[in-house]
Amino acid sequence: MKKETRLAIRELAYYSSLGFSVSFSIFIGLFAGVYLDRRFNISPWLTLIGLGLGIAAAFKNIALAVKKSRKL
C-alpha cells in the first residue's frame, strides 16, 4: 500500500472516531452529574455542572482535532 494511502486511512480513522469521542465525553459528564444528584439529593445542580464539564471536554476534543488538521 502506498504511503499516501496509509496516511489518508489513518486520518480518516481518527476523524471518524471524533464523533464517538465527543458524544462519549458529554454522556459521561451527564451521567456522572445525574448519579451525584441522586446520591446527594441536590437536583439539578450537579447534573448541569456535569453536563457543562462534558461539553467542555467535547470542545477540547474538537479543538485538538482542528489543531492536528492544521499541522497537516
Provide φ and ψ at 47, rounded to 5°: -65, -45
Q: Which pTM does this prediction carry?
A: 0.80
pLDDT digits (tens, 9 = 90+) for 51-62: 999 999 999 999
Percent of the chain exceeding pLDDT 70 equals 99
Radius of gyration of the chain measured on its C-alpha atoms? 17
Q: Which residues, 6 or more positions from 26, have their beta carbon under 8 angstroms from its beta carbon? A: 51, 54, 55, 57, 58
Q: Which residues, 6 or more positions from 40, have their beta carbon under 8 angstroms from its beta carbon? A: 46
* Residue 14, C-alpha cell as written in the block: 481518527
Q: How confident is the model at residue 11 (pLDDT cuts 50, 70, 90)?
A: confident
Domain that holds residue 52: 3-71
Number of separate domains in the chain: 1
